[in-house]
Structure 1
Amino acid sequence: MSAWNLTGTAPRARDDGGERDGGALSVSRAVELAASALEAIPQLTVIGEVTGFRGPHARSGHCYFQIKDDSCAVDCIVWRGSYAKRTFDLRDGMQVQFTGSFNLYKATGRMSFVARSFSLAGEGLLRQQVAALAEKLRREGLMDEARRRRIPVFCTRVAVVTSLSGAVIDDVKRTLRRRNPLVELVCVGARVQGEGAAEELVEALGRAAALDPAPDCILLVRGGGSFEDLMTFNDEALARAV
């Protein structure tokens, strides 16, 4: 009965800031409420994959794209001033950590996440760290050609530093038997993954180098794995030991 008067005709709408009889809202009022709710959400840090990257825009300098995970996606904006402070260029496929807040563009009712800062995440961050370490070692001269030791064309004694429980040691033995069964193989065991693995590999390299008689070369090997699995071999102390 509240929506109709006794004559059975609809009542006139009240002008009360957009709300109409029966609780219906104007589009403008509904969008304002949604915008206010989004503004109440505190600043967030979100990790997602960049997709559909467009920017910087030729005139505004702003960047427009989406960030997504396996089940959701959201429009994202990086204003010109924020993008100017970047340490790397955004591109599709990157896993990136964004810090910012949600915004609703009232003219279209479109929600976006406005990122005020961003940094690489996941594998991208690891690759950035590896590149920085490689550049550090290069500046120190550790990668100069003059430091490279000549590997004999025909080795008679080979030391292998790797996990003795994985398939890789069997692969090495099988390959050597096929290519040159006369080669003497000395296995030095160490973990190749997980906490403390880099330290074990450094110690194992020291033991391999101290063998008597000395090996003609030392193989530092492991099987396949993800980039994260292989990060043990990007350890700075291990690089210096090599």
Structure 2
Amino acid sequence: MNTPNSNPAAAKPTALSVTQLNDQVKQTLEGRFRNIWVAGEITDIARPHSGHIYLTLKDKQSQVRGVIWRSAAERLRFDLQDGQSVLCQGDVDVYGARGTYQLVIRRVELRGVGDLQFALRQLQQKLQAEGLFDPARKRPLPRFPRRIGLVTSPTSAAVHDFLEVAQRRWPDLNVLIIPTKVQGTEAAAEIVAGIDAAHRIQPALDVLVVARGGGSLEDLWCFNDERVVRAIAASQIPLVSAIGHEIDVTLSDLASDRRALTPSEAGELVVRSRDDLAKELAKLADDLRLRIFQKHATVQSQLEQLSRRPVFTRPFDRIAQQSQWFDEAELRFNRGIQQVVAKMRQQLASTAELLDAVGPLKVLARGYSVTQTADAGKLVQSVEQLQVGQSIQTVLADGIVHSTVDTLTENRDNAKG
């Protein structure tokens, strides 16, 4: 006889709800896959206004969704892009509402190149395109700065190294230290503020030095901060960067007017050696004396040559020659005047003779006479001008005859037709 409990058909399986299933999967996956690293290629990046970043990690066979919450996204050192091969650290998270899981990413590193190096390369390309590193915009340093600003940590070795060199080269130099942090998350903002403060110092600074000692890429990262690089490029004071050691090159170095390999070299670049200057001035003085001596010798030789010229050895010869020349010129002038006057007199005599020959007196002397009216003295040229009884006068060569017209006889041959 079969009992109810022994009947297989009567047994009911225990069923899980969908929510229960998802909860158990969530507990299993989230408990099992925590703080894991996943390698893959980024694709399908989405950046909503919330500040979160959504993406997909894939390899050749599979893919998984990932999310970077805003708090973690703000700490990324470089921009995520499709196609990047990355290592992502995070936890598996199950989204029960859809029965899906995703990787909650807290940290991203580039595979093959560090994230800091990649971020540095990205920012360098951006600022290079803007012209911040253009050599044409770099300014020369003043030859004799009186006031120098040093932006750095006041307790760093950089201060000691710079001041040691600067004081040795020019003991009375005025160096103002503008204290800032040079490492850590707050350093970039303080360096920018220090550069800004340097521009408000009065009397104005002649040159500005931004310095720190060596360190790792992480230690020097504040000098690759975009805010610091832009502040250095915008500085109105000629600026020298002295960051790290010879092998360390930051974006601040590229944006500065001059790069010093070390803080000590910055002291040598900015501050001229007083001893070297004294030697230079002594050399210039020697060169000046030599040139003066050479010039004096040249002028003395020229004077000696000039002194041997006849104008100096026999100065009155020239005066005598000029006097003789003037005498000869005067004689030539007088002869010329005499010749001209004689010729003019001859021409005048000839003209007078010609005028005398054709003059009225000569004509009268040859037997001719001139008749005029007695009242007006008008020349009588025709009988039509006279009347019977009119008084006339006749001019002869030796006198005048007064008469009265008795009759008028017209010459028929000359009568008008």
Compute the TM-score of the two structures, normalised by the length of structure 2: 0.31
SS at match of 2:212: coil
Report percent identity of matched pairs: 37
8 Å CA contact retained: 1:163, 1:191? yes
> Which of 199, 202, 211 is 2:192 aligned to?
202
Question: Match for residue 131 of structure 2?
Answer: 141
Report the residue type matching 2:197 in the other structure: R
Question: Match for residue 214 of structure 2?
Answer: 224
Question: Match for residue 13 of structure 1?
Answer: none
CA distance in 2, matches of 1:128, 1:167: 30
Question: Match for residue 203 of structure 2?
Answer: 213
Listed as ranges, the gaps of 5+ residues in structure 1 are 1-40, 48-77, 80-84, 89-95, 100-117
Question: Match for residue 37 of structure 2?
Answer: 45
Are 1:125 and 2:115 counterparts?
yes
Once the two structures are superposed, residues 147-178 of structure 1 have per-residue CA deviations (whole angstroms, 9 ceiling, x without a partner) of 21221233222100001122221111111112
Report the residue type matching 2:209 in the other structure: L
Distance 1:122 1:197, change over 3 A: farther
Distance 1:201 1:45, change over 3 A: same
Are 1:156 and 2:169 counterparts?
no
8 Å CA contact retained: 2:84, 2:110? no
CA distance in 2, matches of 1:182, 1:123: 48
Number of aligned residues: 145
CA distance in 1, matches of 2:139, 2:226: 20
Question: Match for residue 75 of structure 1?
Answer: none
Map 1:92-111 → 2, pairs under 5 A: 97=87
SS at match of 1:160: strand
- Greater mean alpha carbon deviation, residues 135-144 or residues 184-193: 135-144
Once the two structures are superposed, residues 10-36 of structure 1 have per-residue CA deviations (whole angstroms, 9 ceiling, x without a partner) of xxxxxxxxxxxxxxxxxxxxxxxxxxx
Distance 1:166 1:153, change over 3 A: same
CA distance in 1, matches of 2:200, 2:179: 14
CA distance in 2, matches of 1:123, 1:200: 29
CA distance in 1, matches of 2:113, 2:150: 28
Distance 1:123 1:154, change over 3 A: farther
More strand by share: 1
> Which of 228, 231, 236 is 2:226 aligned to?
236
SS at match of 1:201: helix
Distance 1:87 1:174, change over 3 A: same
Q: What is the Cα deviation at residue 46 of structure 1?
A: 5.5
CA distance in 1, matches of 2:83, 2:144: 50
Question: Match for residue 167 of structure 2?
Answer: 177
8 Å CA contact retained: 1:123, 1:228? no
CA distance in 1, matches of 2:113, 2:164: 33
Q: What is the Cα deviation at residue 87 of structure 1?
A: 4.9
Distance 1:239 1:182, change over 3 A: same
8 Å CA contact retained: 1:162, 1:188? yes
SS at match of 2:175: strand
More helix by share: 2
CA distance in 1, matches of 2:112, 2:185: 18
CA distance in 2, matches of 1:149, 1:123: 35
Distance 1:180 1:201, change over 3 A: same
8 Å CA contact retained: 1:123, 1:227? no
CA RMSD of aligned residues (A): 3.2
Question: Match for residue 189 of structure 1?
Answer: 179
Report the residue type matching 2:37 in the other structure: T
SS at match of 1:229: coil
Q: Which has the larger radius of gyration?
A: 2
CA distance in 2, matches of 1:199, 1:191: 9
CA distance in 2, matches of 1:142, 1:199: 19
Higher relative contact order (CA 8 A, sep 6+): 1
